[in-house]
Amino acid sequence: MTQRTSEITVGLFMVAGFAALLMLALQVSGLSLKPTSDTYTVYADFNDAGSLSPRGKVAMAGVSVGRIRDISLNQKTFQARVAIEIESKYDGIPADSSAVIRTSGLLGDQYIDISVGADEASLADGDSFFETQSAMNLERLITNFASGR
């Protein structure tokens, strides 16, 4: 009887451990078990997308307002074109807002920060940010400093 009890306890402990690993894997990958909310897509063109990645964070005033859907090369301008999915509850973003690539902490992940403008018109599905600021490339900055440019 005690052997059966200990086997059940070990089994429950293993199930809890696997559940914790699953939750950790979902958290790290940016995936979620909750259903996705309604979104609309806006675009931003950057000279250098840095290390942005799909499902990366998009924030405004420190609050997560969406995710990066896709990053591709614009064949006409040869810039990185980033498709951004913004949750529909944040539908009043002024049209003259700008998208800036920022880094979380000193060596953290890069994300897009939306700097709010003052225009009365709002960004709609399919619109593009008028102004963007690319990622700061430390390697290029150090090279330019070292060569005296």
The per-residue pLDDT for range 41-53, each reduced to its tens digit, is 999 999 988 888 9
* Secondary structure element (H or E) that encloses residue 29, with its range: helix 2-29
Residue numbers of the domain that contains 115: 39-143
- pLDDT at position 108 is 76
31 lies in some domain: yes
Q: Provide the domain count of the chain.
A: 2
pLDDT category at 32 given cuts 50, 70, 90 is low
**In angstroms, rounded to a whole number, what is the distance separating the alpha carbons of residues 74 and 49?**
12
The answer on 137 and 124 residing in a single domain is yes
Same domain, 26 and 93: no
State whether 84 and 133 are in the same domain: yes
Whether the Cβ atoms of residue 54 and residue 69 lie closer than 8 Å to each other: yes
Is 60 exceeded by the pLDDT of residue 35?
no
What average pLDDT does the segment 59-76 reach?
92
With cut-offs at 50, 70 and 90, classify the pLDDT of residue 78: very high
Whether 130 is covered by a domain: the verdict is yes
Is residue 43 located within the same domain as residue 3?
A: no
Q: What is the DSSP string of 91-139?
A: TT-BTT-EEEEEESTTT--EEEEEEP---SSB--TT-B-SEEEPPP-HH
